[in-house]
Chain A
């Protein structure tokens, strides 16, 4: 042991890994604590989306654009200090959003125009041009928007690479270690993290527990409202390269991301992976931490995917998996210091966009911790914003 860490990040998913990597790059001594295996929960269930296409103009889009700019450099930097880590398969493949019926065309076009005004590369194209780009796309698709900036990476490999960089810079990653609560000094500020393997003295603790952030925040004595929202994805048998070229989704996607109901919502997202499989998502459902696979959910996903990509109807589905997204009532991440407990920071609540927002979140968190300038306005992501609003 070479002295105590400056900061302990709780949670070794993609957001925790990105925060730890950014803090380490900023010169802090970092320890990451993970109760299970790194990148083994929400991160291992994700599709690896790094998207601007599904974000309406506003703070989340700004964080997404910051993240999109940073991901390639962050991954290159990590590979430079930890060259043996796995390849995160960064792929700026672009996204294509298709309107399957006439009624969806106008809202999609309007949405894209607003994004363009906010600086997103969003190109409205016709159905035939869309089918030239994606030959498997439904003949029903009458209009589409092409988003060349959308990218994909392999989230487990990316998190693994970032954690390898943390270690390479002298940090530690302690998996199989559960965080139990904080140690607080006389002033009330954080003085350490209690774990099931002893106390780690430190001046800052970062809550990056994803869907379990609400639980940890209660253990830390500073509750934030982050809840699990179940999602399921289908995986096809490997298909030839080029079957699905971009991330292709139905124009109704945005509506589901914004919805807060417990009811099942599905929106069609189809994309291939480097391994040749095609991932077909996805559902959103508030069922707590119930991880039962529900065929009715899989069916709803399959039905809409077959409508969007009729060519996939005879392709075998070989796996289905689910995960939990960290959901906040206002659909914005929580990033910043907790005003109730100095030294407790949160970086959570990214719902289904954690991979896409992680690089920007790491940058923003490290800037806030060290007092360096940030390229994103942190105010919309502040802790306790709902409570403030309630008092106003």
Chain B
């Protein structure tokens, strides 16, 4: 069985596969960066890919500081870019 997951990325609908990481989903959608640094506003995306560097942070369901390389996509997730430091909503 290979059901698909429906999520939103920055408000737009997207489809993911169970087991997929948020980072792989975003790269698959053609995104290379999804965070800006809080100091100089520089773009960042995946760097270490294994949960060590905290560069690929993303906001999932209102919760910021989620490592996109480690977080598995869940059905209905609302995923959006993280601008610098954010607080949970």
Q: Hey, which bits of chain A sit against chain B, CB under 8 A?
A: 237-240, 243, 276, 311, 314-316
Interface centre among B38, B63, B85, B86 (most CB of A within 10 A): B85
B-chain residues with CB within 8 Å of residue A316 when the two chains form the complex: 65
Q: When chains A and B are docked, how far (Å) is the Cα of A238 from the Cα of B85?
A: 6
* Shortest Cβ-Cβ A-B pairs, 5 listed: A314-B88, A238-B85, A240-B85, A316-B65, A239-B85
Q: Hey, which bits of chain B sit against chain A, CB under 8 A?
A: 38, 63, 65, 84-88
Cβ of A237 and Cβ of B65 under 8 Å apart? Answer: yes
A-chain residues with CB within 8 Å of residue B38 when the two chains form the complex: 238, 276
Listed A/B pairs (22) with beta-carbon separation below 8 Å: A237-B65, A237-B85, A238-B38, A238-B84, A238-B85, A239-B85, A239-B86, A239-B87, A240-B84, A240-B85, A240-B86, A240-B87, A243-B87, A276-B38, A276-B85, A311-B87, A311-B88, A314-B63, A314-B88, A315-B87, A315-B88, A316-B65
Residue of A nearest to B84 (CB): A240
Q: When chains A and B are docked, how far (Å) is the Cα of A243 from the Cα of B88?
A: 11
A-chain residues with CB within 8 Å of residue B63 when the two chains form the complex: 314
Please give the distance in Å from A276's CB to the nearest CB on chain B: 5
B-chain residues with CB within 8 Å of residue A237 when the two chains form the complex: 65, 85
B-chain residues with CB within 8 Å of residue A276 when the two chains form the complex: 38, 85
Q: When chains A and B are docked, how far (Å) is the Cα of A319 from the Cα of B67?
A: 17
A-chain residues with CB within 8 Å of residue B65 when the two chains form the complex: 237, 316
A-chain residues with CB within 8 Å of residue B85 when the two chains form the complex: 237-240, 276
Q: A239-B87, A276-B38 given. 12 additional CB < 8 A pairs?
A: A237-B65, A237-B85, A238-B38, A238-B84, A238-B85, A240-B84, A276-B85, A311-B87, A311-B88, A314-B63, A315-B87, A315-B88
Q: When chains A and B are docked, how far (Å) is the Cα of A288 from the Cα of B71?
A: 42
Please give the distance in Å from A239's CB to the nearest CB on chain B: 5
Residue of A nearest to B57 (CB): A237
A-chain residues with CB within 8 Å of residue B86 when the two chains form the complex: 239-240
